[in-house]
Amino acid sequence: MGVEICVEGLTKSFGHQVIWQDVSLTLPAGEISVMLGPSGTGKSVFLKTLVGLLKPDRGSIVIAGRDITRLREHELYEVRKLFGVLFQDGALFGSMNLYDNIAFPLREHTRKTESEVRRIVLEKMDMVGLLGAEEKLPGEISGGMRKRAGLARALVLDPEIILFDEPDSGLDPVRVAYLNQLIVDLNAQIDATFLIVTHDIASARQVPDNIGLLFRRELVMFGPREKLLTSDEPVVRQFLNGRMQGPIGMAEEKDAAQVAQELAEIDRSTGGDAVRDMTPRLLPSPEITRPPRWEAIAGREAERPAERGTGHGAAAHSGREPHGGPPPKAEPEPEAEPGPETRPAPEPGTLPKTAAHPGPETETGTGAGSGRGARA
Ligand SMILES: Nc1ncnc2c1ncn2[C@@H]1O[C@H](COP(=O)(O)OP(=O)(O)OP(=O)(O)O)[C@@H](O)[C@H]1O
Ligand SMILES: [Mg+2]
């Protein structure tokens, strides 16, 4: 079971530049949360602060009962073992093959024998569909494979918390769909607490339990997915719909009059209707036993149908939305078997049995899925 992370009044600056201030949120144990925000708003800085790589100016980060902002370096070293981190660029060692890259944290942080290391490394490589690619160097594989190798490395210490910094950047839409399924499946299997930074709005709409948005040095909102997807807050609506109209400008801040004019124009063109869209949630693959919280999630989302907008137009911004018009009660019941139509893959029939093993990319992979069910 993952652990809760409780952030209170967190502020970070570099010199005179305040990155964000007074950020408070709770990442619920075992849930998937996504952090959104325009480029440069400090999402990567936030992840690095959570792991204790950067020190905040003020505020607390309580993990498993300890405020990590107050720990000494050797104590932090222990806390960091709770984390698996997938950095923005994968951060693999270029001169090491994938096997050694993935084995690195085990050799560095544990006293496991080489045969134990081997068992764990191969299990994680299997989980992310990379079995058979052990000898490859990072420079010899595709971007998608590098991301998954980074993910396997983030998993080897059986983390309670996994942080992903743009796991999907630079991937084609089909790879992103597979990666999203892998993330949802992993979360159902290992039940760790996930925080994902992404710019991919379609992923942000389908994958998480909770969404947060950083903008202008503040956490504008953080809460259950459905709360943000149906929010009237202009910044949230603009970001989740990937629109130019709204408070977020290309370079700097727009003035209030311009924003009001743009928002009025949107409301006129959409008949005064809020552009809000309850995108169906991406479910774990059918063969994976879902943890009990899935029932709570489905119940929570079903409570809000009256507040949902008709959503027309919202999905038009994403080529990968599985459904164009989201019916208000589109949320699946917990016991309902997830049909392939709830997944973002463009051709449901072409999905492999387990989406964690995207065959085409793993040219050296065996595609065997033996390791996956064991942890369910
Ligand atoms: N070590 C550092 N020293 C000084 N400034 C930094 C440091 N790290 C980040 N910054 C600054 O903090 C701000 C936020 O950077 P960050 O990388 O967190 O943005 P981001 O939201 O992750 O952006 P992107 O979406 O482009 O990845 C930027 O202005 C950046 O220049
Ligand atoms: Mg970043």
Would you state the structure tokens that stand for residue 99, as one six-digit string?
């096997």
pLDDT over 60 at 217, yes or no:
yes
Q: How far apart are CA 48 and CA 215, in angstroms?
A: 18
Ligand at shortest distance from the CA of 16: 1
Q: How far apart are the CA of 44 and the centre of ligand 2, in A?
A: 4
Cβ–ligand 1 distance for 19 under 6 Å, the answer yes
Quote the strand ranges of the chain, DSSP E: 5-14, 17-27, 32-36, 58-63, 66-67, 83-86, 161-165, 193-197, 210-215, 218-224
Alpha-carbon 85 to chain mean position: 12
DSSP for 138-204 reads GGGS-HHHHHHHHHHHHHTT--SEEEEESTTTT--HHHHHHHHHHHHHHHHHH--EEEEE-S-HHHH
Whether 103 and 113 have beta carbons less than 8 Å apart is answered as: no
Nearest to 180 by CA among 29, 45, 287, 281: 281
Q: Is the CB of 41 under 6 A from ligand 1?
A: yes
Higher pLDDT, 304 or 40: 40
Query: Which of ligand 1's atoms lies nearest the C-alpha of 46?
Result: 18
Average pLDDT, the chain: 77
Q: Give the residue extent of every domain in the chain.
A: 5-228
Specify which of 9-18, 229-238, 283-292 reaches the highest per-range mean pLDDT.
9-18
Model pLDDT, residue 71: 92
What is the band of 214 on the pLDDT scale with cuts at 50, 70, 90?
very high
**The dihedral formed by the CA atoms of 55, 57, 193 and 322, expressed in degrees to the nearest 10:** -110
CA distance 87 to 91: 6
Q: Which tokens sit at 358?
A: 């995207």
CA 215 – CA 232 distance, rounded (Å): 16
Q: What does the pLDDT read at residue 332?
A: 37
DSSP 8-state code for residue 14: E
Does the beta carbon of 77 lie inside 6 Å of ligand 1? no
Residue 301 banded pLDDT, cuts 50, 70, 90: low
- Fold classification of 5-228 is Rossmann fold (3.40.50)
32 beta partners: 194
Of all ligands present, the nearest one to the C-alpha of 41 is 1
Q: Which ligand is nearest to the CA of 19?
A: 1
**pLDDT tens for each residue of 304-317:** 554 443 333 333 22
Q: Is the Cβ atom of 205 under 6 angstroms away from ligand 1?
A: no
Supply the Cα-derived Rg of the chain in whole angstroms: 21
- Tell me the mean pLDDT in the region 175-200: 90
Coil, strand, or helix at residue 240?
Answer: helix
Residue nearest to atom 28 of ligand 1 (CA): 40
State what percent of residues in the chain have pLDDT above 70.
Answer: 74
* 218-249 residue pLDDT tens: 999 999 998 888 888 888 888 888 777 777 77
Distance 168 CA to ligand 2 centre (A): 12
- Write the pLDDT tens digit of every residue in 87-138: 876 678 989 999 999 999 999 888 999 999 999 999 999 888 899 999 999 9
> Are 355 and 289 spatial neighbours (Cβ–Cβ below 8 Å)?
no
Checking if the pLDDT of 325 tops 60, the result is no
**Cα gap 43→214, rounded to integer Å:** 7
Please give the Cα distance from 161 to 3 (Å, whole number).
7
pLDDT higher for 64 or 293? 64
Q: Does 37 contact ligand 1 (Cβ within 6 A)?
A: yes
pLDDT band, very low/low/confident/very high, at 271 (cuts 50, 70, 90):
low
Whole-model pTM: value is 0.76
Rounded to the nearest angstrom, the distance between the alpha carbon of 42 and the centre of ligand 1 is: 5
